[in-house]
Amino acid sequence: MKILVPVKRVIDYNVKPRVKMDGTGVDLANVKMSMNPFDEIAIEEAIRLKEKGVATEIIAVSIGEPKAQETLRTALAMGADRAILITSETEVEPLGVAKLLAKVVEEEQPGLVILGKQAIDDDSNQTGQMLAALLGRPQGTFASKVDVDGDSVSVTREVDGGLETVKLSLPAIVTTDLRLNEPRYASLPNIMKAKSKPMAQKTPADYGVDIAPRLTTLKVTEPPKREAGIKVADVDELVGKLKALGVA
Amino acid sequence: MKTLVWVEHDNVSVKDATLAAVTAAGKLGEVHLLVAGKGCGSVGEQAAKIAGVGKVHVADDAAYEHALAENVAPLIVELMGHHDAFVAPATSHGKNIAPRVAALLDVMQISDILSVESEDTFTRPTYAGNAIATVKSSDAKKVITVRGTAFDKAEMQGGSASVEAVSATGDKGLSSFVGAEIAKLERPELTSAKIIVSGGRALKDSETFQQVIIPLADKLGAAVGASRAAVDAGYVPNDYQVGQTGKIVAPEVYIAVGISGAIQHLAGMKDSKIIIAINKDEDAPIFQVADLGLVGDLFKIVPELTEKL
């Protein structure tokens, strides 16, 4: 079966984001961008399923500005077979992304779509669930283990309090949690090879999807700053302060 | 506005996270609850006593026993014919179900809200809590998940809502529950604890973590948390993880032991009332948010602290 893996270009997870002075958003000019960490895990899982002989082809797809092709090249260098870039100059919300992905799924008919559980920029945690809803397919969110068996897939999910396992009929939608796997690095030869792998260029209009945003960001502010604290000299002083606070 | 709140429960009792969602929903208008489960009559009775609730819808059917999104979402969508907003706690179950509901209603979800500014305007954290966005929704119906630590919990008593049975929409046959491994907790639950003692990579291994962190937590009646580094290194199970991708906590006191304070960790605990850091590196970022800091070797400090408390 084919596996479709949507990937997003986001601010690198090591960068401390800065809120713009005018309150319109986060300053992304000259900031290092990378593939969303959860999406790397999604690509890795797809590759492992291909290595096990479960998957036949891995298609990476990204929606965003033209630079998102760099993210797709990374996915190709890791082991994806081909890529689809849907270019949009304006930011597309999870609902719009899910609608576009639903069209790609209709075209490509993958047995599995593996997404990251959330993007570390908008922290929405919605796209996978929305895609499953639009397609009328089952969802295995926050997966820490994925086992394909015939026409179903068992997904162990990280839930509050522990783990739970669900069985989904294929085709299905899975979203990755951190502990699903350790993504591989792309080797230099594979980075070179990725340059010649096919990448289709599309626009939202090609799919006839309305991506007009439903939410308007009125302003973006920094979170309230904590007041600088004090350092205590030793345990006795710490115990004294804790007692004064009524903790002990 | 009529708001439907999804009640998180284990078919026996209402989970705490629901109560913060009820408070948030109360800011929008009339609050109705949905209890969907199997043999969940007692949950419905408890829910009816929550202060500020107008009506409780109870859907009792085997299809809802494990809160599978494929079965629960269509039920919610049907009830949304008579409601203007759907609110769920931003727990793992809430986050699983709500976006499925939103897409079926063709609306954008507003995730993890911190405040209700008006009927259509909310604040929510982005970029691991480093930027707070104020967003206005143009959708006719709102679908919202609520950050539990940002709202007071509604009282579990004083309410007298009417209870109404709703007919089930059936098992969609797309998914089934196989089993669960729930970690045993002998101490307070992380997200509702007043005090949390949290350990990081510096604890060395699982055994040392147990020896150093647990006695202090027990002395304080505290819950135990961990950084991602400690979880990935296998010191503790992953449901102990505090941070952007783990649990978001805001206790009265958060004691960070051997945790450097990466932004992903801070995203999960920086709304704690008092933060105490114990770390041997005096330049560790955790000291920039800590109210009380002690620089030194945790293997000496923590046992001494435990003894003197």
Look at residue A243 and tell me whether its pLDDT is greater than 90.
no
Look at residue B87 and tell me whether its pLDDT is greater than 80.
yes
CA distance A86 to chain B (A): 20
Look at residue A211 and tell me whether its pLDDT is greater than 80.
yes
pLDDT, tens digit, 9 for 90 and up, residues A64-73: 999 999 999 9
CB within 8 A of A135, min separation 6: which ones?
A102, A105, A171, A173
Look at residue B252 and tell me whether its pLDDT is greater than 70.
yes
Q: Say which amino acid occupies A114.
A: I
Per-residue DSSP letters for chain B? -EEEEEPPB-SSSB-THHHHHHHHHHTTSEEEEEEEESS-HHHHHHHHTSTT--EEEEEE-GGGTT--HHHHHHHHHHHGGG-SEEEEESSHHHHHHHHHHHHHTT--EEEEESEEEETTEEEEEEGGGTEEEEEEE--SSEEEEE-GGGSPPPPSSS---EEEE-------SSEEEEEEEEPP-SS--GGG-SEEEEE-GGG-SHHHHHHHHHHHHHHHT-EEEE-HHHHHTTSS-GGGBBSTTSB----SEEEEES----HHHHHHHTT-SEEEEEES-TT-GGGGT-SEEEES-HHHHHHHHHHH-
Set of chain B residues whose Cβ sits within 8 Å of the Cβ of A141:
69, 95-96
CB interface of B with A, residues 172-201, below 8 Å: 173-183, 185, 191, 195
Q: What's the gap between Cα B2 and its chain centre? A: 23
Tokens standing for residue A16: 């401390």
Look at residue B102 and tell me whether its pLDDT is greater than 90.
yes
List b or e across A174-200, with b for residues whose CB sees 16 or more CB atoms inside 10 angstroms: bbbbbbbbebeebeeeeeeebeebebe
For position A152, what pLDDT does the model report? 97
Binned at pLDDT 50, 70 and 90, residue B287 comes out as: very high
For position B119, what pLDDT does the model report? 96
Establish if B128 touches chain A: CB-CB under 8 angstroms: yes
In this complex, which of B135, B282, B290 lies closest to A217 when CB atoms are compared? Answer: B135
Mean pLDDT of B241-257: 93
CA distance A233 to chain B (A): 7
pLDDT, tens digit, 9 for 90 and up, residues B182-222: 877 678 888 889 999 999 999 999 999 999 999 999 999 99
For position B192, what pLDDT does the model report? 83
Q: How far is CA B190 from CA B16, B21, B161, B194, B246, in A?
A: 12, 18, 30, 9, 11
List b or e across B25-37, with b for residues whose CB sees 16 or more CB atoms inside 10 angstroms: bbbbebbbbbbbb
Look at residue A245 and tell me whether its pLDDT is greater than 90.
no
For position B3, what pLDDT does the model report? 98
- Where residue B109 falls (left for φ over 0; alpha for ψ -120 to 50; beta otherwise) is beta
List the single residue in B with minimal CA-CA distance to A166.
Answer: B177
Mean pLDDT of B159-174: 95
For position A189, what pLDDT does the model report? 96
pLDDT, tens digit, 9 for 90 and up, residues B9-66: 999 999 999 999 999 999 999 999 999 999 999 999 999 999 999 999 999 999 999 9
Tokens standing for residue A204: 């939202």
For position B8, what pLDDT does the model report? 97
Establish if B89 touches chain A: CB-CB under 8 angstroms: no
Binned at pLDDT 50, 70 and 90, residue B245 comes out as: confident
Mean pLDDT of A34-40: 97
Quick one: CA torsion of B153, B77, B59, A164, rounded to 10 degrees? -70
For position A225, what pLDDT does the model report? 85
Mean pLDDT of B219-234: 94
Determine the longest span between alpha carbons in chain A, in angstroms: 69
Establish if B1 touches chain A: CB-CB under 8 angstroms: no
- Mean pLDDT of all residues in chain B? 95
Q: Inter-chain contact B104–A26, Cβ cutoff 8 Å?
A: no
| Mutation site for A-interface testing, chosen from B18, B96, B141, B295 by largest number of A Cβ within 10 Å | B96
Least confident of A5-14, A225-234, B138-147, B268-277: A225-234
Binned at pLDDT 50, 70 and 90, residue A21 comes out as: very high
Q: In whole angstroms, give the CA distance from residue B147 to residue B129.
A: 12
CB interface of B with A, residues 220-279, below 8 Å: 220, 228, 232, 237-239, 244-245, 247, 252-253, 263-264, 270, 274-276
Look at residue A13 and tell me whether its pLDDT is greater than 70.
yes
Look at residue B94 and tell me whether its pLDDT is greater than 70.
yes
H or E, element range at A159 = strand A152-159
Please state the length of chain B: 309
- Residue closest to B21 by CA, chosen among B72, B89, B78: B89
- Mean pLDDT of all residues in chain A? 95
CA–CA–CA angle B116, B120, B124 (5° rounding): 45
Mean pLDDT of A208-230: 92
Tokens standing for residue B144: 């919202």
Q: Inter-chain contact A231–B294, Cβ cutoff 8 Å?
A: yes
Look at residue B309 and tell me whether its pLDDT is greater than 70.
yes
Q: Inter-chain contact A215–B137, Cβ cutoff 8 Å?
A: yes
Q: Inter-chain contact A95–B294, Cβ cutoff 8 Å?
A: no
Q: Inter-chain contact B239–A160, Cβ cutoff 8 Å?
A: yes
Least confident of B104-118, B178-192, B226-240: B178-192
CA–CA–CA angle B68, B103, B90 (5° rounding): 55
Number of inter-chain CB pairs under 8 A, A vs B: 244
ipTM of the complex: 0.95
Binned at pLDDT 50, 70 and 90, residue A248 comes out as: low
